[in-house]
Amino acid sequence: MDLIIFLICSVIAVACGINLVLQKHPISAALSLVGVMGSLAVLYLLLGGAFIAAAQIIVYAGAVMVLFIFVIMLLNAGAEPAGRKRSYARLFGPPLLAIFVLLIAYAIQARLPRSEGVQFGRFTGGSPEGIGIKVFTDYLLPFEVVSVLILIAILGAIVLAHKEIR
């Protein structure tokens, strides 16, 4: 069952990723990105990373995508104008891309040592409890530094956005 869910979600992620690149309208591209992020969250769940799956949905598919859509609407971005396509790019592009991908895959396969395959659900370090313990013990200082930097960024955004009242 895990293999079937994995294959379905991976096909959805790849299809939405291709659609993201091929879209001419930015809102449609952003919605395709939401599809990629949702399917990746399911893949994280299959691998035992419940916290990262929840963060993927809440932070990326939720907050970041709302920000993207807001900026796209604010800029009033329309569809891209059609560009001039060269015939040699259409002729040689796909075969060269396929050769490039195969060469990269071969190089990675040749360099990496053999390992056992992934077994779904075997990893248990991605629970919210495990991540919370790590964040608030081993990584407390970096966590607090990041929170202070975020606070400074929020204050800077407020100062920049504030109009002087006369």
pLDDT tens figures, 66-101: 888 877 777 776 666 766 777 887 788 889 999 999
Considering only the top CATH level, what class is 1-80? Answer: mainly alpha
The predicted model scores a pTM of 0.61
Residue type, 84: R
Reading the block at residue 32, the tokens are 């395709």
Cα R_g (the chain), whole angstroms: 22
Supply the pLDDT for residue 107.
Answer: 92
Rounded Cα distance, 59 and 141, in Å: 22
pLDDT above 90 coverage of the chain, percent: 33
DSSP classification of residue 123: -
Rounded Cα distance, 80 and 98, in Å: 27
Supply the pLDDT for residue 140.
Answer: 92
- Helices 26-46 and 2-22 pack at an angle, to 10 degrees, of 160
Residue with tokens 């709302």: 66
Rounded Cα distance, 45 and 129, in Å: 15
What mean pLDDT value characterizes the chain?
A: 84
